[in-house]
Structure 1
């Protein structure tokens, strides 16, 4: 993203607002006059989905698929995080910002033939919100993090979710929440068929049923997921594809080889160093995803010696970020000094990053009681991610940096779903991970990744388990304030404390490259890291 994104939900809190976008349907419907293309698109990716239950996942590989099976109440524009209608056609908020009313689209069916209506919306959100709901099976960590907790918990911002009539639903909040509308656009808050939930229970992740452009057909674990065109999709004439297959090819180079051979049609996780090679192939094209991410080194603040801020600061000074970028990102990244990317408003540009200074890092270690360094495990992701295209090699480079100041590390990895589960449980001493923003609001980075309320194993999004009352107070105040300028100042102040405490090492903000056959038309990479294939076609 080249400039900051303004959020509709903030303006809404200033007074009553009714929105219906430029039309009652997303921009993609402007193409319905065209004759739909057909064919099968094969998408090559580095890892498998964890689950196809959108309410119970946080990883991009899961959302890459669920976004094509389900719809949410609202969505984002194809190029940015501006809110547009989806299953809700209009919405309004009360003057105090505590009541949100949504008018729902009529004549929409789930893939199992059942009706989408207000009852379905209430059932889905009650499932996530209420621990006593019969289908509250899972940790629902995203819901907990974005809405402050579950029903009955002190931090929960939601007071009531109710049906007004068959196609109107209302959310009543305990207090205004500035990012509320932007949050609802996130892939995790998609609407699942209530009948499918009742039928499949905790196996809904293997039997997904939504209202989206594609219907689930088959899942071969660690190999492929196949979805087929929903002929009764509510956007007339869409989708254009007959079928999409999400194919797992773990190695980036092997994935590029498959693309060149015509075995797949598009791939993510392209090594930046291979961009020029793709540009030189007349059969292929480069697609760049707008930057809205951070790759970071998490330091578990509850485990010795990372409970000592001087040790954390020493690690920050030991990592040569410029060296990493030169070696692995081919100019498609910039060093990160904050967890918040500079493409978002609220970014504190005045913070000075920890300098790369091994000698000063050694001095800090000595002051912390480790004059000879120490030994620890260093966890590295098994799959390439948009913010980290070669995690194992990046881990080895950081391992070499840390060895220079006496920190000896053993690199450890696990299968992707296990890696996520274990880091959320806080089992790691230090671990590579990252975050791609979901909604264009600073809250989605700072509150999710670093608020004390989200340092809650076994479902911690704040995997550094960092707990700061000062940061918490600033982030909560920012959530309940309508003035964006005031919110921005609160986020800037929070970043000062975060930088001083050094709970993690922000490494890079990337512009992730994708490669595709030139036969692929209409593919628009979204800043949030995944996108619908509803408008994509393939001409073979």
Structure 2
């Protein structure tokens, strides 16, 4: 009788939605929410680096379910909230921060997660100097007052409560997990030393079903009520295949959709779709150290050649207009400074530089991400606009590793003139745009504008203290820096801010999109419903 009713409901939904509409089938009679599995579909490989101290890529979607940080960013309050730390306080000058930890938390290894373990974890992360280790730069010393109290003494004022919520470089883990062995090698075999709700069950690098997590029964958050006790991460590069898996109930969540599939999700009974603004934007970094873009006039001309409004129309909902480096929702966002295409001004600047229509031709090299349709669309449109200005754009689609290798070539003449990339903050503050991308003396940065400007560096160095002590002054400082980098120095162009287009089964309850943790689903917080 139950099965017959389910079939009847499905037929009625199909009739209401018109011929050809797809309805997600009801769950099988043996469906059990107590042993439910959440299947997350990614379009790229999940794990490249298992070490929570140095991982800096798509790993975040798994690691945020395995490891935890002291605090977690709340997108509603726009503040840090409790996670492993239940409370914290700072001195008036924001240079001493005291965190109170949850009692009786244990790592997956069985060892206690106490203040000493937190100290050792952060100190190891700092010593390895991974891509996100810079977030702890303000810290001078860390002291343990008692098993649940840890104190950070800073060299300068900084928002340590927010820093401790970082999506990268802030995980707390058991540094003794490998015993006397090498911890990095221990991690590399697909083992974890976290405290989160899930632990690694199986890892199949390069396979479609790449990663399976299982519930950690000793999790401090508990397992009362219906929850997903298993999480599977699948890699499906073909969107039609991913979509069919969702319709057939073989997947619960599609992390990335193009606009056409997102519209299908909006009109499919049994499927929920979301479109949310992100903290991620697309950047064109201009090589200021070698080649023709050493001339600011040429850099400015390329900025003017970009068809910003046309790109937004072509993205069809997958992007929003950018108004500078900092997306909406973060301190430093500036409204009403949206750039516009101006081919007349571009031609004038090129002429002043000795190029342009009727003058000597100009060739620029550009690299962008292979298999990224949106970046390819940008490059195609920009190449057409520049062609009319007597500028040839030699664009190459490369893997991220190949782009990095070219950008870091010790021979400046072999580096690209324009480096196209996405960027998002490591924690919910715009500081990482400036520190990682434009600070001139940071050897671990992604400064592919090759900017060496002491005045800019000094302003960047002042940002953490301003953010921690005077948000109004910080807003002005961020705004002034954007004007300097985008307009005065013309080292970057920002065509759009990414919108996340996703779909998931209607039976998944409790999902919210947190822009501070891109593409992450906090699975333990979800409720499976048959």
TM-score range, shorter chain: 0.7 to 0.9
Note if contact 2:361-2:390 (Cα within 8 Å) is conserved in structure 1: yes
2:149 alignment partner in structure 1: 168
User: Does 1:312 pair with 2:312?
Assistant: no
Note if contact 2:67-2:196 (Cα within 8 Å) is conserved in structure 1: yes
1:453 is displaced (CA, Å) by 4.2
Equivalent position SS for 1:187: coil
| Aligned-partner Cα distance in 1 for 2:91–2:296 | 44
Match of 1:479 among 464, 479, 483: 464
Tell me: CA distance 1:285–1:476, structure 2 relative to 1, closer, same or farther (3 Å): same
1:256 is displaced (CA, Å) by 2.8
1:362 is displaced (CA, Å) by 2.8
Note if contact 2:33-2:528 (Cα within 8 Å) is conserved in structure 1: no
2:325 alignment partner in structure 1: 339
Q: Within 5 Å, which residues of 2 pair with 1:127-526?
A: 127-130=124-127, 136=128, 139-144=129-134, 146-148=135-137, 157-177=138-158, 179-188=159-168, 189-196=170-177, 199-203=181-185, 204-205=187-188, 206-223=190-207, 224-237=210-223, 240-328=227-315, 330-349=316-335, 351=337, 353=339, 355-371=340-356, 372-382=360-370, 384=372, 390-416=374-400, 419=403, 427-454=415-442, 456=443, 459-481=444-466, 482-500=469-487, 501-526=489-514
| Aligned-partner Cα distance in 2 for 1:539–1:117 | 36
| Aligned-partner Cα distance in 2 for 1:323–1:255 | 29
Runs of at least 5 residues in structure 2 that lack an aligned partner in the other structure: 1-31
2:115 alignment partner in structure 1: 118
| Aligned-partner Cα distance in 1 for 2:300–2:497 | 20
1:477 is displaced (CA, Å) by 2.4
1:279 is displaced (CA, Å) by 1.0
Q: Which moved more, 1:49-58 or 1:311-320?
A: 49-58
| Aligned-partner Cα distance in 1 for 2:235–2:76 | 26
User: Between Structure 1 and Structure 2, whose CA radius of gyration is higher?
Assistant: 2
1:417 is displaced (CA, Å) by 5.1
Q: Which moved more, 1:61-70 or 1:418-427?
A: 418-427
User: Does 1:535 pair with 2:525?
Assistant: yes
| Aligned-partner Cα distance in 2 for 1:287–1:350 | 26
1:3 alignment partner in structure 2: none
Q: Paired residues, what number?
A: 479
Q: Within 5 Å, which residues of 2 pair with 1:60-139?
A: 61-77=58-74, 79=76, 81-130=78-127, 136=128, 139=129
1:424 is displaced (CA, Å) by 6.9
Tell me: CA distance 1:359–1:219, structure 2 relative to 1, closer, same or farther (3 Å): farther
1:380 is displaced (CA, Å) by 1.7
Equivalent position SS for 1:208: coil
| Aligned-partner Cα distance in 1 for 2:232–2:400 | 20
Tell me: CA distance 1:100–1:507, structure 2 relative to 1, closer, same or farther (3 Å): same
Runs of at least 5 residues in structure 1 that lack an aligned partner in the other structure: 1-34, 131-135, 149-156
Note if contact 1:425-1:460 (Cα within 8 Å) is conserved in structure 2: no
1:253 is displaced (CA, Å) by 4.4
Post-superposition CA distance 1:213-233 (Å, at most 9, x none): 110122222332221111111
Tell me: CA distance 1:104–1:222, structure 2 relative to 1, closer, same or farther (3 Å): same
1:8 alignment partner in structure 2: none
Q: TM-score, normalised by structure 2?
A: 0.83
1:72 is displaced (CA, Å) by 0.7
| Aligned-partner Cα distance in 2 for 1:312–1:527 | 31
| Aligned-partner Cα distance in 1 for 2:244–2:263 | 15
Q: TM-score, normalised by structure 1?
A: 0.82
Note if contact 2:73-2:428 (Cα within 8 Å) is conserved in structure 1: no
Note if contact 1:291-1:527 (Cα within 8 Å) is conserved in structure 2: yes
2:9 alignment partner in structure 1: none
1:31 alignment partner in structure 2: none
2:3 alignment partner in structure 1: none
Tell me: CA distance 1:452–1:79, structure 2 relative to 1, closer, same or farther (3 Å): same
Equivalent position SS for 1:488: helix
**RMSD across aligned C-alpha pairs, in angstroms?**
2.6
Q: Which moved more, 1:444-453 or 1:267-276?
A: 444-453
